[in-house]
Amino acid sequence: MLRTVILGTGSYSPSRVLTNSDLEKMVATSGPWIVSRTGIEERRVAAPEESTATMAAAAARNALALAGVDPLEIDMIILGTVTGDAMTPASAAYVQAAIGAANAFAFDVSAACAGSLYALSIADQFLQSGKIRRALVIGAETLSRVTDWTNRETCVLFGDGAGAMVLGRGEEEGRGLLATSLRTDGSLTGILGIPRPSAGAEGVLEGGKIKMKGREVYKFATRVLPEIVGEALAQAGVSPSEIDHVIAHQANARIIESVLANLGVPVEKCWMNIARFGNTSSASLPITLDEANRAGRLKKGDVIAMMAIGAGMTWGGAVMRW
């Protein structure tokens, strides 16, 4: 069976760096507290002229260049984001125009930090059905614009950026995406989200910023992520000991370490960049994949396990042979 393969990866990070010491001047926090609880040392913040769509387009161009694929060959663009440039149209439409992918239909997926994994799974279905030949999957966020910079419980966690992958049908048996597994628990919408802004008491605009019950998110994530990766591994017929690399949504270093320990996978197998970027939601998984790819870590035939979790709660796992 010929499976979906990743032909190229790309990413984009804004140049402005916000360090933990910068945050110490903004809220009552400390660098050591942030590092010990999350693993984050700094994060990137988009410039005023940058947006989710401009960063997504930059990441997409990098991925297309690496894949050697012309934008006109792309049949579908799916962008995972919760911080689109407009309520409508989809930011994927801005990306389509910006990169000149005139033959692609394009839409956004709202699945929070699991957005790019959901998008990967959707694209896989279109590719496997033969309906399309090439897809562009992107995750991009400008979380800095929905962060409450006065709330120390959330503002230390998030960052901006974009990651992308170009997908196609493989030409070799056994290589490519072996399994994806997705889940949602809508009874947990209250533990993490960004309520729409609305006029509150005295007409002051309220909402529109990230709200999170951190402890509950932490407990839930550390419970369900090993299960979903286990499920994807079972579907793929691969055992945890065969995993060569873990590409994980970078939510929190402690969450990732706990999941790896649970799966019995050594931490060295997981590409970590949370120290430099913080949690970039749907962007984080494709940025991480792009870094590992460009560093030459991923060798032909390697088994890669992916995992992500986000507001919804939404979560997923995937297994591929590079």
- Whether 113 is catalytic is yes
Q: How many CB atoms lie within 10 A of CB 319?
A: 24
Binding span for ligand ACO by CB under 6 A among 69-77, 171-179, 216-224, 289-297: 216-224
From residue 126 to residue 165, what is the string marking binding to ligand ACO with x (rule CB under 6 A)?
Answer: --------------------------xx--xx--------
Distance in angstroms (rounded) separating the CA atoms of residues 148 and 26: 11
CB 71 within 8 A of CB 40: no
- Give all strands of the β-sheet with 176-184 in edge-to-edge order: 176-184, 314-321, 303-310, 245-248
CB 301 within 8 A of CB 173: no
CB 114 within 8 A of CB 104: no
- Whether 252 is catalytic is no
DSSP string, 266-311: -GGGB---HHHH-B-GGGHHHHHHHHHHHTT---TT-EEEEEEEET
Q: In the complex, what is the shortest distance from the CB of residue 315 to ligand ACO, in angstroms, rounded to a whole number?
A: 8
Distance in angstroms (rounded) separating the CA atoms of residues 122 and 126: 7
What is the H or E stretch that residue 164 is in?
strand 160-169
Residues 6+ apart with CB under 8 A from 115: 80, 81, 82, 109, 139, 281, 282, 310, 314
> Which residue, 4 or 38, has its beta carbon nearer to ligand ACO?
38
Number of residues that bind ligand ACO (CB under 6 A): 23
> Which residue, 200 or 208, has its beta carbon nearer to ligand ACO?
208
Kindly name the residue from 62, 252, 273, 279 that is annotated as catalytic: 279
Binding span for ligand ACO by CB under 6 A among 33-41, 46-54, 83-91, 170-178: 33-41
Interacting residue with ligand ACO among 113, 117, 120, 285 (CB under 6 A)? 113
Interacting residue with ligand ACO among 25, 88, 203, 215 (CB under 6 A)? 215
- Whether 155 is catalytic is no
Q: In the complex, what is the shortest distance from the CB of residue 279 to ligand ACO, in angstroms, rounded to a whole number?
A: 5
Interacting residue with ligand ACO among 251, 259, 303, 306 (CB under 6 A)? 251
| Residues known to be catalytic | 113, 249, 279
Contacts with ligand ACO by CB under 6 A lie at 29, 33-34, 37-38, 113, 152-153, 156-157, 192, 212, 214-215, 217-218, 221, 251-252, 255, 279, 309-310
